[in-house]
Each structure stands twice: as structure tokens, then as C-alpha cells.
Amino acid sequence: MKKRVFIAFAIEDEKFRNFLVGQSKHEDSPFEFIDMSVKTPWDNKWKEHCRSRIKGCDGVVVLVSKHTPDATGQLWEIRCAYEEKVPVMLMYVNDAQPTLPPLLKGKQVNVWSWPNLEKFINSL
């Protein structure tokens, strides 16, 4: 059975999200992604729906980049996952390791690799 994984990303990092979604479409992929990306202002109905989606997932993959500290939607999704006690894996989108926002200070951030992703998925 495939694991349901929510992906939290800054909208500026959509291309990296697309790479992960592409991986999930492979026949032998052990996971599928849940996408809640929005391009319109946030409202309480969206937040309720998003929280419900996060709670229904086995885990959350967070794509961390230089855009993360200013990505209020992504930070809300991460906070929500922590509040709902859904397992979270933080993963840098590239070799640049930017300053982390306060919410992520002291947390382990993984290098983007298939083995790291696979290890997280298998732990769910």
C-alpha cells in the first residue's frame, strides 16, 4: 500500500515539488503526494481543508530553500504537521543551505537524495 505524503514548499520552489511528484508517479514508488498548493489568499476554510489533508497523510516532506523563511503558507503547513504529530522530514532543495526560520531551528535538515527520501517513507 502506498504511503500518503504531504509536501510543503514555497511557491517559488514549485519546480522542486514537481520533481518529487514525478518520482511518485513511477510504478515502483512507495508513496503518493498530496498537493494543497494555492495561488490565492489564505482563508480559514482552506486552512481547515489543509489540516484535514495533513492529518490524513502518513508523513510530510518539507522542501527547505532560501524562500522558506518568507513562505507563510509553507510555515503554517509545517506548524500544522507538528501540531498534529504527523512525521516530518525536512529536505534541502539544493546544496545551498540557507538560514532556517525559527520554526526549524535545531531540526535536522536532510540532503535531497532518493536514499534519504526512501528511508523516511519506509519509516512511516
CA angle 91, 94, 96 (to 5 degrees): 105
In this prediction, residue 24 carries a pLDDT of 72
Structurally, how many domains does the chain consist of? 1
Spatial distance between the Cα atoms of 31 and 76, rounded to a whole number of angstroms? 23
Mean pLDDT by 10 residues, the chain (124 residues): 87 90 73 61 77 92 96 93 98 91 96 89 91
Read off the pTM: 0.89
Spatial distance between the Cα atoms of 96 and 80, rounded to a whole number of angstroms? 26
CATH number for the domain that contains residue 110: 3.40.50.450
Q: Which domain holds residue 117?
A: 3-123
Spatial distance between the Cα atoms of 7 and 34, rounded to a whole number of angstroms? 7
Evaluate whether 59 touches 87 at the Cβ level (below 8 Å).
yes
Which residue shows C-alpha cell 522542486? Answer: 16
Grid coordinates in use for 122? Answer: 519506509
In this prediction, residue 37 carries a pLDDT of 59
